[in-house]
Amino acid sequence: MKWAKQTHGFTIVELLIVIVVIGILAAITIVSFNGVQERAKTTQAQTDLRNLTQAITVARNNTSKTLIGITNAADSRQTKATADAAIDAIAEASGINISGLKKGDPWGNWYRIDSNELELNATDCRQDTIDVLNKIALAVRIPFSQAACL
């Protein structure tokens, strides 16, 4: 009676090859996924800033006021409460629902709105700005609206 050699399972070499292939695929996936989230956050912030800029423009056209006249605050960069109040005032004056912007930017910070145009006097022509904390490339300058600055 001969004993038949039974082969069940995989050899150690086959298992090692599979593990190496899985490791290579995982490394490729991680490298390609690495920048996707940051690009998505940047795109969302740019969209938010564009929406806020449009709301400010509509609010200024509706009220014939500067941004400081609409928000009653020269600087809403210091606290989230002042930024939220500015967003509410802009939304009310423009009739555009931008309340979702009160949740802040994709990195968890609030949008910093700085009302500069005619802040100090009738010839103060510094542009209003909206900033994203620690993201200088995303800062937006709002176009002038008053005749003295055009």
Share of the chain above pLDDT 70, in %: 95
Q: Is 142 within 8 Å of 90 (Cβ atoms)?
A: no
Instruction: Give the mean model confidence (pLDDT) for residues 34-60.
Output: 93
Give the integer Cα–Cα distance in Å for 45 and 137: 11
**Residue 51: pLDDT band by 50, 70, 90 thresholds?**
very high
Residue 73, pLDDT > 60, answer yes
Instruction: Give the mean model confidence (pLDDT) for residues 27-45.
Output: 88
Give the integer Cα–Cα distance in Å for 90 and 106: 21
Taking alpha carbons only, the member of 73, 59, 150, 54 closest to residue 114 is 73
Instruction: Give the mean model confidence (pLDDT) for residues 69-97.
Output: 91
State the pLDDT at residue 127: 87
Which CB contacts under 8 angstroms, 24+ apart, belong to 37-45? Answer: 40/106, 41/105, 41/106, 41/107, 42/106, 42/135, 42/138, 44/105, 44/106, 45/105, 45/106, 45/107, 45/132, 45/135, 45/138
**Which distant-in-sequence residues (6+ apart) come within 8 Å of 139 by Cβ?**
129, 130, 131, 132
Tokens 């082969």 belong to: 7
Local structure of residue 34 (DSSP, 8 states): T
**pTM for the complete prediction?**
0.78
State the pLDDT at residue 15: 94
Residue 4, pLDDT > 70, answer no
State the pLDDT at residue 26: 93
Residue 44, pLDDT > 90, answer yes
Model pLDDT for residues 97-146, shown as the tens digit of each residue: 999 999 999 999 999 998 888 878 888 888 889 999 889 889 999 888 88
State the pLDDT at residue 92: 96
